[in-house]
Amino acid sequence: MRPLLLGYLNPRPFTSAGELDALKRELAAYADKEDFTLADIYIEQIGVWDSAFNALIEACKRDGVQVVAVLTLYHLARLPRLQRAMKEHLERETGAQVLVMYPTPEGVG
């Protein structure tokens, strides 16, 4: 049985439905390539009170998921210092490893 992986997306404002579908497919392909089962993708939505990030943390804790994937650290936060802080917070709170699909040379995405 393949381990579970949760995905997280925080798309830029005005991301089209087609672009969002492409991002989801990228996460699914990555999970499959790395031999994980993609359990769910948490997606931030503008104007929605409930945070997908907080729901992701709760799901990791509740279901014992040990791996979270993001396309780039930009999905965790827009500013480089905050990106690292959010990644560390997610890992510390859940015990999950955060995999960054497309890291940049500077370590931010």
Q: Give the model confidence (pLDDT) of 28-71 as tens digits.
A: 999 999 999 999 999 999 877 679 999 999 999 999 999 999 99
Mean pLDDT over the full length of the chain = 92
pLDDT on residue 46: 80
Higher pLDDT, 48 or 97: 97
Side-chain-side CA neighbours of 77 within 13 Å: the count stands at 13
pLDDT (0 to 100) of residue 89: 96
pLDDT of residue 106: 54
**CA dist., res. 43 & res. 83, Å (int):** 17
Domain 4-100 of CATH type 3.40.50.1390:
yes
Q: Check: CB of residue 72 under 8 Å from CB of residue 101.
A: yes
The pLDDT, as a whole number, for residue 109 is 44
pTM flag (> 0.85): yes
> What value does the mean pLDDT take over residues 23-31?
97
